[in-house]
Structures are given as structure tokens and as C-alpha cells.
Amino acid sequence: MTRIAANLSMLFTDAPFLDRFDRAGAAGFDTVEFLFPYDHPIDVVKTRLDRNGLRLSLINAPAGDWTAGERGFAARPSKRAEFRASVEQAITYATGLGCPRIHVMSGITAGEPDRAACEAVWTENLREAADMAASAGLFISIEPLNSRDVPGYFIAHQDPTLALIQGLDRRNVMLQFDVYHTQIMDGDIIRRIERLKGAYGHVQIAGVPDRHEPDTGELNYAEIFAAFDRTRFDGPMGCEYNPRGRTEDGLGWAAPYLRTPA
């Protein structure tokens, strides 16, 4: 059964962050995800979730100076201390907010030592993060990002990323299958959904190439949802797109997956 979640870092962005929970609830979402809640105390965010009857499916660990282009630390030998601190903070928030999964970003590795050194530090960091998360009963999500939007990011393709994850030997680290990035870098979406069944723990969606609503662009989301259904994937897929206009006005495609207002 297809389930969706509102990504509050990209939807309803005409409202301040905390007010986006109310907008998502009113629009009929029962689940949300977002990147960085860290400017707000846990209890304040929790109140917004609870008063709208919302579950939280994913947060990102702090990823550095976002506006300056930082995208996490896991593969950056020069940022070991920042990495550990970011995972600790994310675990505190995920636990307090009842969120099962943390997206840990790998970082832009241009400017770091050679690839082998980055891989070695990524592996050490992720094993440590996985063990910390496992003690709290949490999953870690690892997402390749397309190199058109995020040049120099450590991981850009699904298969090599899965190989890295398998090398960790940690059961609570899984792929994040963002259909938008995957279509740009790898394609063959339906077969890939089937072949990678069981390897991804979180899915995100958007139209390609413009990253608008999934009802525009080169992908057929009816077929993609059916493929995820066949694999028995039942997690809420994050709607991680830039709405063409007001978020609510573009939710026609999502009507079958939203709660009807009380």
C-alpha cells in the first residue's frame, strides 16, 4: 500500500518551519520528515507533531554549514569530531521525537585526501554511528545524491553505495532510495526497485528533471508506486520536491494517499 510523508524542508516553505506541521496535518498527511530540526527544542517540535496527529519518519543528522555548501561529514577525514557530535545530536532528537531513522550525509569529498582514505574513514565513522544508533533502536539511512545538483558528493550511485553499506556489516544501515536522484544517475527505476528490494529502508519521490510534483516529468509514478507495492515496501515515501506553486494546490496527485479532513 502506497504511503506518503510530507518533507517539511521542501513543502509548505511559505510558512515558518513550526507552522508547516499544521499545514501538513490540515492537508491530510499523517507522516512528515525533515532535514534539520535543531534550531528548535525537542519538546516544541514534539508538540507540533502530536497536536496534528503526525508521525515522523526521517530526520537528517546535522550536516555542517548548509548555505556554504557543506553536505555532512561521514567521508571527510578532517571532520571526525564534527561527525561524531552530529550523530549524537541526531540520536537525541530522533529518540525524543519518536523518529526511527536518521539520514547521515557523507559529505563533499573534493579537497579531502584520496578516495581510499575517504572510504576508510566513511567505514569507520558509519560503523561507529550504526552502533550508537542501534543502542537507541534506530536505523541509519545512506543516500546517493545526483552529481548535477551536488557535485563532488561522496556517493552518487545506488549500486556502489550498497556495496559500501554491505562492507559495514551493520544491519541497521540501509539505502535511501530517492527516486529523483536515482533516475538522474542510474535510471532503470522499476527493475532497480525490484532488484534492490530489502536493501532500502527509506524512499523519497519527486518529478524528474525539475524536482516538482511527481505528476510532472519523465517518470510514471503510478508504475513506480505499483513496483514498490510488489516488493512489499510499506514505508512512507517522502515527498521531497519543490512545489510548482502553493503546496496545497499541487497535491491533486496525492489525494488517494491523504487522510480526508475530519
Ligand X SMILES: O=C(O)C(=O)[C@H](O)CO
C-alpha cell belonging to residue 239: 515527498
Pick from 34, 43, 38, 44: nearest CA to 13: 34
Smallest separation (angstroms) from ligand X to the CB of 202: 9
CA distances (Å), 33 to each of 110, 126, 234, 239, in order? 29, 22, 16, 9
Q: Which does 35 bind (CB under 5 to 8 A by kind): Mg ion, ligand X, none?
A: ligand X
Q: Which of residues 133-162 bind ligand X (CB under 6 A)?
A: 143, 145
Interstrand relation of 139-142 and 31-34 (parallel, antiparallel or unpaired):
unpaired
Smallest separation (angstroms) from ligand X to the CB of 148: 12
Identify any residues that bridge with 3 across adjacent strands, giving them in sequence order.
236
Instruction: Using the minimum distance from each CB to Mg ion, give the nearer residue, 94 or 205.
Output: 205
Q: Of the candidates 236, 240, 243, 247, which one interacts with ligand X according to CB under 6 A?
A: 240
DSSP assigned state of 106? B
Smallest separation (angstroms) from ligand X to the CB of 71: 6
Smallest separation (angstroms) from ligand X to the CB of 180: 7
Instruction: Using the minimum distance from each CB to ligand X, give the nearer residue, 76 or 181.
Output: 181
Q: Give the angle 117-127-9 at the CA atoms, nearest 5°.
A: 90
Q: Which amino acid is at 1?
A: M
Q: Which of residues 75-114 bind ligand X (CB under 6 A)?
A: 103
Verify whether residue 112 is a known catalytic residue. no
Verify whether residue 213 is a known catalytic residue. no
Residues annotated catalytic, as ranges: 143, 240
**Chain positions contacting Mg ion, by CB under 5 A:** 178, 204, 240
